[in-house]
Amino acid sequence: MGWVAGEAVAGPYSALVMEIESDRVLYERNADEIRHPASLTKMMTLYLVFEALEQGRASLHDTFYASSYSASRSPSRIGLRPGDPLTVEEGILALVTCSANDAAATLGEGLAGSEPAFAAMMTRKARELGMSQTVFRNASGLPDPEQVTTARDMYRLGKALLKRFPQYYPYFSTSRFQYRGRSFHNHNHLLENYYGADGIKTGFVNASGFNLVASARRNGVRLVGVVFGGNSSFRRDAHMRDILDDGFAQIEGREPSVRFAGFDQGYVPRLLTRPGESRASAAPKKAGRAAAGKKNGDRSKAAVARASPGKQKGPPTHAKRKPAAAKSSPVRAKSSKTSATAKR
């Protein structure tokens, strides 16, 4: 997984800004190129949770129990242990604030019986939403070479969350979540420093760099922006502010001002393949790799940035059998009151 505090090797850059009512493109760069979603994956996890709530298949107070597998999903976590209870609302708040992987896996197992079954549901829903280039393999976004998406598909998902679940979308603006005496803060700092911002989700794994889907509303106009491939959360956020500002300026009639991110690398890692495409057919030739290194001025740096997500350290991708005390189906039970400070 490889969490870092400062600069990291950037993943492949792509970005998109669109106005959601007209689907007008205001900024676009590599928007249909394959990327790893990292914790942007949790947007789909939450979509399915919200759908279950809307359809009455779950309630905010339903309780799921962490399995040994879900409790092991690190590094971002709220500290669940095998058999620990987690209400649906606590799970939602854990995902939108600190992007907790243990909570994501627990929600997935509770709704579908296992995380692989839940991931299959996620991919089917992606197809229903028109996300044709997206495949999900887990509920959290932890590294998997087959878990892929595009900036345009992530825009479609962000728009679907806004349009389909206006009653649940305000969860994404929750600034702080308290759980068992610990306080978890929202990783999306645009909520604090960008006028009109009210969600949606951040993400990071080594193979993707720092990602962000952000929504902002000004003067009755809502834009959704997507950025993949930042080499720090600070530079990713700064670039998102720039392209959103430029988008709002275009809405007001000004000419677009193209801004390229300083972390733009201009290449695609070898293991990124489209759904249904074999890695052998997608792998570039040696000459192509050399040209990519020359283009970026440092072939060795390009090789580092193309590192396979499969070589990263992380928990296993297959679920272990749950302990006898853990239950995969929801048990209707009232939870203790959840404390959350929300920006509405």
Closest to 149 measured CA to CA, from 108, 206, 200, 208: 208
Q: Is the dihedral of CA 121, 123, 124, 129 positive or negative?
A: positive
Q: How far apart are CA 168 and CA 294, in angstroms?
A: 48
User: Which residue in 39, 67, 72, 140 is the catalytic one?
Assistant: 39
Of 14, 42, 67, 232, the active-site residue reads 42
Q: Got the DSSP string for 209-254?
A: EEEEEEEEEETTEEEEEEEEEESSHHHHHHHHHHHHHHHHHHHTTP
339 as an active site residue: the answer is no
Question: Is the CB of residue 272 less than 8 Å from the CB of residue 148?
Answer: yes
- Residue 73 φ then ψ, to 5°: -80, 100
Task: Let me know if 285 is exposed, middle or buried by CB neighbors in 10 A (0-12, 13-18, 19+).
Answer: exposed
Catalytic residue among 70, 72, 99, 232: 99
Note whether 311 and 39 are within 8 A (CB): no
Structure tokens at 227: 């950025």
Which tokens sit at 80? 């669940």
Say whether 42 is catalytic: yes
What whole-number distance in Å separates Cα of residue 70 and Cα of residue 77?
10
- 39 in active site: yes
| Residues labelled as active-site residues | 39, 42, 99
